[in-house]
């Protein structure tokens, strides 16, 4: 069931989205060579705490997970696609890092992700990240009343495939509101004109995930959470929470 949000409710989601944006900015600023991923999680915790927000990630346990998620950010490095658990790993020069963060404030949730490099960036990593951001922008541009979920999926997938990248099979975005994951699902590839019609008041988390090697395959680490590329190539992840309005898409997790 899809819950349409009122204008005041979308404003509350925007407040949560601002917290997410501040947390991601603080984590990115703190991400230097030698810094443990666990320190980045502490930075995000501090931002959420200062805002009076809680984390929808911490303690989250979907059906596939053997244990609840133990952190407030997902920190995925190099060949990790999504859901990386921030631990003792220390960032190295040239690492490609994807940080996914959520915030719950006043009963409403925001969710966003950003990918960046630490130290000296490889040209191929810059291209991968730029393509993930372009795919996200294309998906957001398609999030207008009268379009369908398939139009968003097609826009995202077209950008990814045109650049020669893989799209992890079965993973994509989702509805969001009072809970982090709501209906409908938002695939990262699909046919235009198909799926649920988009209406004002719908709020979606649109999140392209790209695999540099061009394959769609992934594997799960022993922690039951971290998804990695099978071919060992690098991955990037970009995400925003977006409200569909009569005036066009509104990014609720923008800085």
The three state secondary structure string of the chain is: CCCCCCHHHHHHHHHHHHHHHHHHHHHHHHCCCCCEHHHHHHHHHHHHHHCCCECCCCCCCCCCCCCCCCCCEEEEECCEEECCCCCCCECCCCCEEEEEEEEEECCEEEEEEEEEECCCCCHHHHHHHHHHHHHHHHHHHCCCCCCEHHHHHHHHHHHHHHCCCECCCCCEEEECCCCCCEEEEEECCCCCCCCCECCCCCEEEECCEEECCCCCCEEECCCCCCEEECCCCCEEECEEEEEEECCEEEECCCC
pTM: 0.97
Mean pLDDT of 60-64: 92
- For residue 204, which of 251, 237, 238 has the smallest C-alpha distance? 251
pLDDT of residue 47: 98
* Residue pLDDT, tens place only, 206-245: 999 999 999 999 999 999 999 999 999 999 999 999 999 9
Mean pLDDT of the chain: 97
CA dist., res. 142 & res. 97, Å (int): 27
* Residue pLDDT, tens place only, 105-159: 999 999 999 999 999 999 999 999 999 999 999 999 999 999 999 999 999 999 9
Beta-bridge partners for 139: none
For 151-168, b where at least 16 C-beta lie within 10 A, e where not — what string? Answer: bbbbbbbebbeebebbbb
* Residue pLDDT, tens place only, 182-192: 999 999 999 99
When pLDDT is cut at 50, 70 and 90, the band that residue 64 belongs to is confident
Q: Phi/psi class of residue 201: alpha, beta or left (left: φ > 0; alpha: ψ in -120 to 50)? A: left
**Strands, sheet with 218-220, edge to edge from the N-terminal-most edge strand:** 80-82, 227-229, 218-220
- For residue 134, which of 172, 108, 161 has the smallest C-alpha distance? 161
């Amino acid at each position: 069931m899809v819950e349409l949000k009122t204008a005041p409710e979308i404003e509350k989601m925007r407040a949560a989205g601002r917290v997410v944006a501040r947390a991601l900015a603080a984590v990115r600023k703190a991400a230097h060579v030698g810094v443990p991923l666990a320190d980045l999680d502490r930075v995000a915790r501090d931002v959420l705490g200062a805002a009076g927000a809680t984390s929808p990630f911490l303690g989250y346990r979907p059906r596939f997970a053997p244990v609840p998620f133990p952190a407030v950010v997902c920190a995925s490095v190099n060949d990790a696609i999504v859901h990386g658990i921030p631990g003792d790993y220390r960032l190295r020069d040239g690492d490609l890092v994807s940080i996914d963060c959520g915030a719950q404030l006043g009963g409403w949730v925001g969710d966003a992700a950003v990918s960046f490099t630490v130290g000296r960036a490889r040209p191929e990593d810059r291209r991968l990240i730029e393509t993930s951001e372009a795919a996200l922008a294309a998906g957001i541009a398609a999030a207008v009343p009268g379009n369908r979920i398939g139009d968003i999926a097609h826009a995202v997938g077209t950008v990814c495939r045109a650049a020669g990248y893989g799209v992890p099979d079965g993973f994509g975005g989702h509805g969001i509101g009072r809970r982090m994951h709501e209906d409908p699902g938002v695939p990262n590839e699909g046919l235009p004109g198909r799926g649920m019609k988009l209406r004002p008041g719908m709020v979606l988390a649109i999140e392209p995930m790209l695999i540099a090697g061009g394959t769609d395959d992934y594997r799960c680490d022993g922690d039951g959470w971290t998804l990695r590329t099978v071919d060992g190539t690098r991955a990037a992840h970009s995400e925003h929470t977006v409200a569909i309005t009569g005036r066009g898409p509104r990014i609720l997790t923008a800085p």
